[in-house]
């Protein structure tokens, strides 16, 4: 759990906006505790979807004109980067993450946050490198009992390496040792890629919370669950497709060119729509994510039969974008044009 994440009692609805406002007022009354209170407020704003307001709070804590200099500036920057990425400011988030890695803070928390942010956006190699930099910097060599605050670094690195299909190394062995001293479920089982892909979390408490949430919402989802599962077509952006075909040339038969790939997606969706297939969508793949999926299936990424399975898994994780886009919306291909000006332009003549 992020250090700023608010804890909420089970089955209690929280008005996150109101709670954030209460914390901001309290911070004004107790300036010596303002930093922690405002971090909690920012977390509530993130949960409410008010991410721009959360960024404003992070900026206020980092401002040179703040009443008190922050006690944990790298932590605040890490939280800001994670938040920025979640609402479309990827370039700024990456710049902050690079700055934190270069500065090499001695506090484990910023490392955990930026590594997990990279991991959540399928940047598995970068996440692995970040976790490795942190454990190398912060853990004494050959330490049998690493400090408690560093455990998330070991566990996160172990998880990412499992997703990448990497063999265990000395750090993974240490992570296993630390984990088994206080748990009955092994890290290998907890970080099994199939489990992570299916449930989206490796944290038992979060899994229990997710199960409770699903049970509580079953009534409202019955109608949706009764509909056919969305059919999702896999889309590779140009840079990702180039990387994919460079690494796995045998897939060229599936993707002779990027232009042909995009045309095939649109024509396939139109054929499905004309046949009466409902709930169509597009999912965007990345090479690290696809490689992790292949590893979870114990298969080679060169196996083209994995491609539709990968698309279905992404859709099940909520990554599908509905097709056709709404009027005036951007095209699914990411060209920056509206759908009607891009791949939807042929609609009037088809």
162 and 300 share one domain: no
- Of the pLDDT bands very low, low, confident and very high (cuts 50, 70, 90), residue 251 is very high
Residues in the chain: 350
96 and 130 share one domain: yes
The predicted pLDDT at position 36 comes to 86
Peptide bond into 232 cis (omega under 30): no
Residue 13 has pLDDT above 70, yes or no: no
Write out the residue range of the structural domain in which residue 267 sits.
228-348
240 and 339 share one domain: yes
262 and 189 share one domain: no
- Of the pLDDT bands very low, low, confident and very high (cuts 50, 70, 90), residue 224 is very low
The predicted pLDDT at position 297 comes to 78
pLDDT (tens digit per residue) in 276-293: 888 889 999 998 888 887
72 and 188 share one domain: yes
CATH, residue 62: 1.25.40.10
Task: Domain count for the chain, please give it.
Answer: 2
More confident of the two residues 251 and 216 = 251
> Average per-residue pLDDT in the chain?
83
The predicted pLDDT at position 1 comes to 41
Residue 222 lies in a domain: no
72 and 114 share one domain: yes
Residue 286 lies in a domain: yes
Q: Please check whether residue 26 is in contact with residue 35, taking contact to mean a CB–CB distance below 8 angstroms.
A: no
The predicted pLDDT at position 194 comes to 60
Residue 242 has pLDDT above 50, yes or no: yes
196 and 265 share one domain: no
Residue 141: phi and psi, rounded to 5, are -60, 135
157 and 268 share one domain: no
């Amino acid at each position: 759990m992020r250090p700023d994440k608010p804890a909420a009692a089970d089955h209690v609805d929280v008005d996150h906006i109101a709670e954030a406002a209460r914390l901001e007022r309290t911070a004004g009354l107790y300036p010596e505790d303002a930093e922690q209170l405002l971090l909690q407020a920012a977390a509530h704003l993130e949960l409410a979807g008010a991410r721009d307001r959360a960024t404003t709070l992070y900026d206020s804590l980092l401002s040179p004109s703040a009443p008190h200099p922050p006690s944990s500036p790298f932590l605040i920057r890490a939280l800001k980067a994670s938040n920025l990425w979640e609402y479309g400011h990827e370039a700024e988030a990456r710049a902050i993450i690079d700055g934190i890695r270069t500065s090499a803070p001695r506090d484990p928390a910023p490392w955990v946050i930026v590594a997990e942010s990279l991991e959540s956006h399928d940047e598995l190699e970068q996440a692995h490198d970040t976790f490795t930099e942190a454990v190398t910097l912060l853990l004494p060599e050959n330490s049998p009992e690493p400090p408690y605050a560093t455990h998330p670094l070991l566990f996160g690195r172990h998880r990412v390496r499992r997703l990448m299909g990497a063999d265990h190394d000395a750090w993974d062995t240490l992570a296993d040792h630390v984990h088994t001293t206080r748990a009955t479920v092994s890290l290998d089982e907890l970080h099994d890629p199939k489990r992570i892909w299916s449930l989206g979390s490796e944290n038992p408490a979060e899994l229990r919370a997710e199960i409770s949430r699903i049970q509580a919402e079953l009534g409202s989802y019955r109608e949706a669950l009764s509909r056919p599962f969305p059919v999702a077509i896999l889309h590779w952006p140009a840079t990702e497709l180039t990387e994919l075909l460079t690494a796995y040339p045998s897939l060229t038969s599936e993707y002779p060119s990027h232009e042909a790939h995009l045309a095939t997606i649109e024509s396939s969706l139109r054929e499905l729509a004309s046949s009466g297939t409902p709930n169509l969508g597009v999912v965007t793949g990345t090479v690290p994510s696809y490689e992790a999926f292949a590893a979870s299936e114990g298969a080679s990424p060169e196996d083209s039969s994995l491609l539709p399975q990968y698309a279905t898994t992404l859709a099940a994780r909520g990554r599908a974008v509905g097709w056709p886009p709404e009027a005036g919306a951007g095209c699914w291909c990411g060209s920056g044009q509206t759908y009607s000006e891009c791949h939807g332009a042929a609609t009037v003549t088809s």
